């Protein structure tokens, strides 16, 4: 991911609207860090599967976790996967029907997941996950027990074979369509944070990481 202009492999080279392709780490990291989950494509004896799962990043790796019994986590140790994250930012309204588009930021990562086998590294990864979701939370909750950690598999995939595709801005009508009398522009989306909802049985005053949620 050191080169901003060349794909790191044949299967990551963007071919459709290649001008929207990005291969640099800054673009990739920003897309991952804005995501709470990814979709993972992998195959087993019954075919291809596309499974959503929570993810987080530490350095040049994307992490996932799950139960030791997870069929996906077992299978990911045996063959390559493709991890995709997509953020939809808006509908792009052009004057011509076929020039309509969407604004988005997407990342695809190829490679083989590896198990984080070292126990200290696994604990640190899970604590990083919590801290990234909500800074300050890890120190307040009942920490994981040895049994809970032992039942959990943490896996990571290197970010060195990846491609991003980003579209932003307004419509790009053909010259001859510009005079067509239709409104043109962008109808944007945002993922916003709503007010925290305390559990009915919770009598604890909300800490800063909860009261600050909507401004985060």
Do 115 and 138 touch, CB atoms closer than 8 A?
A: no
**Nearest-approach distance from CB 110 to its own copies, in angstroms:** 7
Residue 25's H or E segment, with its range, is: helix 25-33
What is the three-class DSSP state of 195? coil
DSSP letter at 194 equals P
The residue from 37, 114, 135, 150 that contacts its own copies (CB under 8 A) is 37
Task: State in angstroms the smallest separation of the CB of 181 from its own copies.
Answer: 6
121 binds its own copies per the rule CB under 8 A: no
* Rounded Cα distance, 206 and 211, in Å: 6
DSSP-derived letter for residue 111 is: E
Q: How far is the CB of 129 from its own copies (least distance, A)?
A: 9
Distance between first and last Cα of the chain:
29
Q: Give the residue, chosen from 39, 74, 124, 167, that forms a contact with its own copies under the rule CB under 8 A.
A: 39
Q: One symbol per residue from 172 to 201: x for binding its own copies (CB under 8 A), - otherwise; what is it? A: -----xx-xxxxxxxxxxxxxxxxxxxxxx
Instruction: Please pick, from the candidates 14, 25, 144, 158, the single residue that binds its own copies as defined by CB under 8 A.
Output: 144
Q: Kindly report the backbone phi and psi dihedral angles of residue 136, in degrees, each rounded to the nearest multiple of 5, phi listed first.
A: 100, -15
Are the C-beta atoms of residues 146 and 10 closer than 8 Å to each other? no
Q: How far is the CB of 59 from its own copies (least distance, A)?
A: 22
Answer yes or no whether residue 79 interacts with its own copies by CB under 8 A: yes
Does position 100 interact with its own copies (CB under 8 A)? The reply is yes
Tokens encoding 23: 């291969």
Q: How many angstroms separate the CA atoms of 19 and 92, rounded?
A: 17
Question: Does residue 14 interact with its own copies by CB under 8 A?
Answer: no
Q: Does 137 bind its own copies (CB under 8 A)?
A: yes
Q: Which is nearer to its own copies, 4 or 172 (CB)?
A: 172
Contacting range for its own copies; rule: CB under 8 A; set: 18-26, 56-64, 129-137, 156-164: 129-137
């Amino acid at each position: 991911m050191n080169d901003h202009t060349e794909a790191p492999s044949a299967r990551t080279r963007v071919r459709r609207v290649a001008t929207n392709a990005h291969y640099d780490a800054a673009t990739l990291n920003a897309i991952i860090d804005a995501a709470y989950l990814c979709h993972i494509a992998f195959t087993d004896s019954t075919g291809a599967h596309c499974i959503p799962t929570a993810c987080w990043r530490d350095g040049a790796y994307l992490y996932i976790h799950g139960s030791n019994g997870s069929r996906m986590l077992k299978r990911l140790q045996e063959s390559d996967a493709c991890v995709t994250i997509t953020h939809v930012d808006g509908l792009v309204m052009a004057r011509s029907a076929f020039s309509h588009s969407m604004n988005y930021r997407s990342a695809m990562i190829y490679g083989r997941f590896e198990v984080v086998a070292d126990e200290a590294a696994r604990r640190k990864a899970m604590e990083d996950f919590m801290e990234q979701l909500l800074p300050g939370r890890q120190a307040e909750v009942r920490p994981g027990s040895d049994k809970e950690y032992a039942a959990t598999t943490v896996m990571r995939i290197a970010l060195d074979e990846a491609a991003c595709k980003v579209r932003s801005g307004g419509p790009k009508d053909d010259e001859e369509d510009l005079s067509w009398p239709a409104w043109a522009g962008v109808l944007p989306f945002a993922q916003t944070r709503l007010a925290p909802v305390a559990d009915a049985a919770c009598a604890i005053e909300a800490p800063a990481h909860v009261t600050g949620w909507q401004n985060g």
